[in-house]
């Protein structure tokens, strides 16, 4: 179980580094009915927005009623929320909070119409509404800003993150070097969820090293580069945007491919894919004909080219995705690794070569699978046994 879930704060006191926001929320609930009916929690990822919505509900003994974009479009569903408001209050003591999480998360989903529906809901409901957003200053959210109490969540200072990590490790009975904890806390740049995930990963390792976390650094670099390409105007700088990303251009191409649809729509989408395929053509020539100078062209299409597929710069926050194709390759390599380690053990056991064991693996797998005693004899690890069973 991820520690971020296991130790998700339940009370206001458990939420760290957001005292100002917590105070504002407390007075919002205390004086509810006299002022604005909606609370708009906004700020960077992993700072406690969703958590605070649930904590607030818990603290005022209310249930959360979560709405997504399509619910807000759904007239019947809206009626259902609005109508029983009066009856409900007399039937059960438990109140309700309406939560609309990540209102800006999915680009294009909450268009102007959807935002206006949400505004109407706020006007008509008798329940407190909590809305969360990363980028509250998006143009399309302007009607919502007027209707809501804005509460900004800040990046969590690294020393507070450090305290949270130390506490978690104590509860889990795990030891990690103090320097390492500090490094993790600093590297998180205010994102407490990232820090907790990192420390959990490290706690599973026999010799925790920052190497695993460098992988995540690489991801931060590519996320920033994607943002530059997709959001900004194409400029000279866009041409060099991938220079600082420590990834081969072909891997960058997969990231672009995966994320074009989360940013572009309609004509832009078609243009972006066209440019991507041109980059792909050069990639093909590079491999077939060893024309390394074509790397320059592949790069131009991926950076400046795809950036210019849009008419105007984009705003708002988009959470980019990891390419699924890479993941598949990676998973495949993992599997091959297990196959190899099992074959090695088996080979030593029956005195044949590892290569031969690898070749005969399907048969060997069956033999091992149906003989738990062999599994023990070979000293298979849990992972390996699981692999054999699959
Ligand atoms: N202020 C905080 N104090 C303690 N733990 C926190 C805090 N903020 C986040 N966390 C931890 O990080 C996890 C994720 O936080 P949460 O889901 O609230 O982030 P968020 O701000 O909603 O992020 P996103 O913008 O990605 O939706 C929580 O389950 C909790 O473990
Ligand atoms: Mg959230």
CA 251 distance to own-chain centroid = 19
At residue 93, the pLDDT reads 65
Give yes or no for residue 88 having a pLDDT over 70.
no
DSSP track, 65-118: EE--HHHHH-HHHHHHHHTTHHHHHHH-S-EEEEEE--TTTSTTTS-HHHHHHH
- The 3-state DSSP class for residue 219 equals helix
Give counts: helices (H), strands (E), the chain. Answer: 22, 5
At residue 310, the pLDDT reads 95
Q: Higher confidence at residue 93 or residue 82?
A: 82
Ligand nearest to the CA of 101: 2
Ligand nearest to the CA of 154: 1
Count other C-beta atoms under 10 Å from residue 340's C-beta. 14
Structure tokens at 113: 């119409």
Residues with Cβ < 8 Å from 93, sequence gap 6 or more? 61
Distance from residue 70's CA to the centre of ligand 1 (Å): 24
Distance from residue 49's CA to the centre of ligand 1 (Å): 6
* Best residue among 11, 20, 47 to mutate for probing ligand 1, ranked by most atoms within 8 Å of CB: 47
- The 3-state DSSP class for residue 130 equals strand
User: Predicted confidence band at 107 (pLDDT cuts at 50, 70, 90)?
Assistant: very low
At residue 106, the pLDDT reads 46
Distance from residue 3's CA to the centre of ligand 1 (Å): 11
Which CA distances in Å does 252 have to 269, 271, 349? 18, 18, 43
- The 3-state DSSP class for residue 378 equals coil
User: Predicted confidence band at 365 (pLDDT cuts at 50, 70, 90)?
Assistant: confident
Is the shortest distance between the CB of 192 and ligand 1 below 6 Å?
yes
Is the shortest distance between the CB of 58 and ligand 1 below 6 Å?
no
Is the shortest distance between the CB of 154 and ligand 1 below 6 Å?
no
Count other C-beta atoms under 10 Å from residue 40's C-beta. 23
Give the C-alpha separation, 10 to 55, whole Å: 5
Give yes or no for residue 386 having a pLDDT over 60.
yes
Residue count (the chain):
390
Give the C-alpha separation, 33 to 248, whole Å: 57
At residue 97, the pLDDT reads 93
User: Predicted confidence band at 116 (pLDDT cuts at 50, 70, 90)?
Assistant: confident
Average pLDDT of every residue of the chain? 87
First to last CA, the chain: 22
The lowest-confidence range among 96-110, 161-175, 370-384 is: 96-110
Give yes or no for residue 167 having a pLDDT over 90.
yes
Distance from residue 131's CA to the centre of ligand 2 (Å): 10
The lowest-confidence range among 1-10, 32-41, 290-299, 336-345 is: 290-299
List strands edge to edge, sheet with 95-100: 62-66, 95-100, 129-133, 38-42, 148-152
At residue 89, the pLDDT reads 55
Main-chain phi, psi angles of 10, to 5 degrees: -105, -30
Question: What DSSP state is assigned to residue 313?
Answer: -
Average pLDDT over residues 25-35: 94
Structure tokens at 66: 């979560």
Give the C-alpha separation, 26 to 275, whole Å: 51
* Best residue among 193, 197, 321 to mutate for probing ligand 1, ranked by most atoms within 8 Å of CB: 193
* Best residue among 1, 8, 41, 46 to mutate for probing ligand 1, ranked by most atoms within 8 Å of CB: 46
On whether the CB atoms of residues 98 and 127 are closer than 8 A, the answer is yes
- The 3-state DSSP class for residue 127 equals coil
Per-residue pLDDT of 200-231, as tens digits, reads 888 887 777 776 676 667 777 899 999 999 99
Q: Higher confidence at residue 90 or residue 136?
A: 136
Ligand 1 atom closest to 41 (CA): 21
Structure tokens at 298: 């592949």
Beta bridge partners of 40: 131, 150
Is the shortest distance between the CB of 8 and ligand 1 below 6 Å?
yes
Give the C-alpha separation, 15 to 107, whole Å: 29
At residue 332, the pLDDT reads 64
- HEC per residue, 148-184: EEEEECCCCCHHHHHHHHHHHHHHHCCCCCHHHHHHH
User: What is the value of pTM for the model shown?
Assistant: 0.64
At residue 241, the pLDDT reads 93
């Amino acid at each position: 179980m991820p520690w971020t879930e296991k130790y998700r704060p339940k009370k206001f006191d458990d939420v760290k580094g957001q005292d100002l926001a917590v105070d504002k929320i407390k007075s919002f609930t205390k004086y509810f009915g006299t002022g604005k009916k909606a609370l708009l929690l906004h700020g960077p990822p992993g700072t406690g927005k969703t958590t605070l919505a649930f904590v607030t509900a818990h603290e005022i003994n209310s249930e959360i009623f979560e709405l997504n974009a399509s619910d807000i479009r759904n007239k019947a569903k809206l009626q259902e929320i609005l109508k029983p408001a009066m009856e409900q209050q007399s039937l059960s003591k438990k109140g309700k909070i309406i939560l609309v999480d990540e209102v800006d998360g999915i680009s294009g989903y909450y268009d102007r119409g959807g935002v206006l529906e949400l505004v109407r809901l706020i006007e008509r409901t008798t329940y407190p509404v909590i809305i969360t957003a990363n980028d509250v200053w998006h143009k399309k959210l302007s009607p919502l800003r007027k209707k809501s109490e804005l509460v900004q969540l800040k990046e969590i200072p690294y020393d507070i993150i450090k305290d949270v990590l130390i506490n978690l490790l104590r509860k889990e009975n795990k030891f990690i070097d103090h320097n390492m904890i500090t490094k993790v806390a600093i590297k998180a740049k205010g994102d407490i969820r990232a820090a907790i995930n990192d420390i959990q990963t490290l706690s599973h390792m026999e010799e925790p090293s920052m190497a695993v976390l460098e992988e995540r650094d690489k991801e931060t670099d590519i996320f920033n580069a994607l943002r530059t390409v997709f959001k900004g105007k194409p400029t000279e700088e866009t041409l060099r945007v991938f220079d600082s990303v420590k990834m081969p251009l072909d891997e960058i191409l997969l990231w672009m491919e995966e994320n074009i649809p989360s940013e572009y729509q309609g004509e832009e989408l078609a243009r972006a894919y066209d440019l991507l395929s041109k980059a792909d053509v050069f990639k093909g020539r590079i491999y077939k004909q060893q024309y390394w100078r074509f790397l320059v062209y592949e790069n131009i299409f991926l950076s400046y080219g795809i950036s210019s597929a849009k008419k105007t710069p984009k705003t708002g926050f988009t959470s980019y995705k990891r390419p699924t194709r890479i993941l598949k390759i990676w998973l495949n390599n993992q599997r091959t690794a297990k196959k190899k380690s099992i074959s090695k053990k088996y080979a030593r056991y029956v005195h044949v070569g590892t290569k031969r064991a690898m070749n005969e693996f399907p048969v060997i797998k069956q033999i091992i699978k149906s003989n738990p005693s062999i599994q023990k004899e070979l000293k298979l690890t849990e992972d390996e046994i699981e692999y054999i069973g699959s």
